[in-house]
Amino acid sequence: MVKKLWGGRFEASLDEKTENFGASIKFEQRLAPFDLQGSLAHVKMLSATGIISGKEADEIVAGLKALEEKLHNHEIEFKIENEDIHMNMETYLLEEIGAVAGKLHTARSRNDQVATDMHLYLKSVLTEVLSVLTTLRSTIVNLAVNHVDTIMPGYTHLQHAQAISFGQHLMAYYQMFTRDFERFEFNFKHTDINPLGAAALAGTTFPIDRKMTTELLGFAGPYANSMDAVSDRDFIIEFLSNSSLLMLHLSRLCEELILWCSHEFKFITLSDAYSTGSSIMPQKKNPDMAELIRGKTGRVYGNLMGLLTVMKGLPLAYNKDLQEDKEGMFDSADTILTSLTVMAGVLSTLKVNDVNMEESTAKDFSNATELADYLAAKGIPFRQAHAIVGQLVLDCVKKGIYLQDVSLQEYRALSDLIEEDVYEILKSRTAVARRTSLGGTAFDSVRKQIEQAKKELQS
């Protein structure tokens, strides 16, 4: 029987299946560097406050540094019987430096230790997420720069609605990803708080210095309440929720990319580097990466629902249920980081078939609003103008023609307010250029949005 670090009050050993069931080391090995970082700060504080001697602290620090080295060289073998990352590390430290290792856990509990590890881990993930999100936002802006003048149909109900600039469409996503960015920044603030020193739940009788560990670990401040520090996981739920929204945005973009590269649309061509073939149909080039990102959105939502449900009935303070906070968080972190990187790659390598895009606005009724606005601007109440154009569209549909094919004579029969200039108004490029209202799709408006975005990306 391997003696557990907590084994004092136990007479029998843990059932083998139970040991495996309860052990979190299987999935939390990636916390190891953060666990060592937390221990190093803790031991330095223990010696600075005189809780342990300088000599003892030196030995422990040397031991922890040796473990860091071994971790780096992949020489640490994590063991189920040592249950979790904390006891795996402590057991190795004991082997490394002997009984003095036992002083490390003075004035500390695994409860504040694991919370500290999670805060440190998530801070590093959030830093990476913010950086990759910035890359994606820049990629979108770069694509928009090249396509301010590219005309495409704008859709509602997936029906041609009004012509827009492709740049406008792209910049809509820029705005969504910028709000995601801000949400993750806020999330970082809530994660930048130090739980270490809360001990099991109630603080400690030792004269610890929480400000010192806070500084050593690079946190903005310590948790104000020891029970809050060890029992909430809202910083992780916030991350999972932000990740869900981010995936939602990515998934909508994926859906559009998938449509746009279909035979029916032919608006874009994806790079071979981000497409795959079929094992039976030789002609196929499938937008797998976009489909996968869209698909992975499901698991990220699932991770959010999982942890929300874990937390909802938990009495304060620590409960073992909290161990269930990890796998979903790791999975969502991995998923969003790869999805963001892949999406940036897809966008920076795709080819835009701008001729097809514009052509698909040449033979449709997406200029019907232009005609109604034209009449309304000449004083006809908009509702009446809407009805006149609606009837004309119906007539055109029956004849198999478009608004631009209607003769001036026929137009003047409808209303003598209509003049030759109507044909210019009906062109999709004119329609786009004239939508100059704030945030509208006019070319200059899109250019302004891009300039603003560039400023945001620089700061």
Question: Site residues (CB under 6 A) for ligand ARG?
Answer: 24, 84, 110-111, 114, 318, 320, 322-323
**Count of CB atoms situated within 10 Å of the CB of 14:** 18
Name the residue nearer to ligand ARG (CB basis): 84 or 90.
84
φ, ψ dihedrals at 88, nearest 5°: -65, -45
How is 196-228 classified by DSSP, letter by letter?
TT-TTTT--SS---HHHHHHHTT-SEE-S-HHH
Cβ neighbours for 24, distance < 8 A, ≥ 6 positions apart: 83, 84, 85, 323, 326
Shortest Å distance, C-beta 72 to ligand ARG: 23
Residues noted as catalytic: 157, 278
φ, ψ dihedrals at 156, nearest 5°: -130, 145
Shortest Å distance, C-beta 444 to ligand ARG: 55
Q: Which two tokens stand for residue 206?
A: 């030792």
* Residue 191, CA atoms < 13 Å, CB-side half-sphere: 23
Pairing mode of beta strands 221-222, 193-194 = parallel
CB 191 within 8 A of CB 33: no
Residue 193, SS3?
Answer: strand
Name the residue nearer to ligand ARG (CB basis): 200 or 417.
200
CB 103 within 8 A of CB 56: yes
- Least Cα distance to 159 among 319, 393, 338 occurs for 393
Q: Which two tokens stand for residue 277?
A: 């073939």
Name the residue nearer to ligand ARG (CB basis): 6 or 382.
6
Residue 317, SS3?
Answer: coil
Shortest Å distance, C-beta 328 to ligand ARG: 13
Name the residue nearer to ligand ARG (CB basis): 256 or 327.
327
Name the residue nearer to ligand ARG (CB basis): 237 or 343.
237
Shortest Å distance, C-beta 23 to ligand ARG: 8
Q: Which helix (H) or strand (E) holds 151?
A: strand 151-156
Name the residue nearer to ligand ARG (CB basis): 333 or 450.
333
φ, ψ dihedrals at 77, nearest 5°: -105, 115
Nearest-angstrom CA–CA distance, 170 and 164: 11
Residue 352, SS3?
Answer: strand
Shortest Å distance, C-beta 215 to ligand ARG: 25
CB 25 within 8 A of CB 88: yes
Q: Which two tokens stand for residue 181?
A: 């960015």
Nearest-angstrom CA–CA distance, 194 and 220: 8
Shortest Å distance, C-beta 321 to ligand ARG: 9
- Least Cα distance to 116 among 196, 221, 40, 210 occurs for 196
φ, ψ dihedrals at 179, nearest 5°: -65, -40
Shortest Å distance, C-beta 14 to ligand ARG: 13
Shortest Å distance, C-beta 194 to ligand ARG: 17
Name the residue nearer to ligand ARG (CB basis): 105 or 147.
105
Beta bridge partner(s), residue 165? 151
Name the residue nearer to ligand ARG (CB basis): 326 or 386.
326
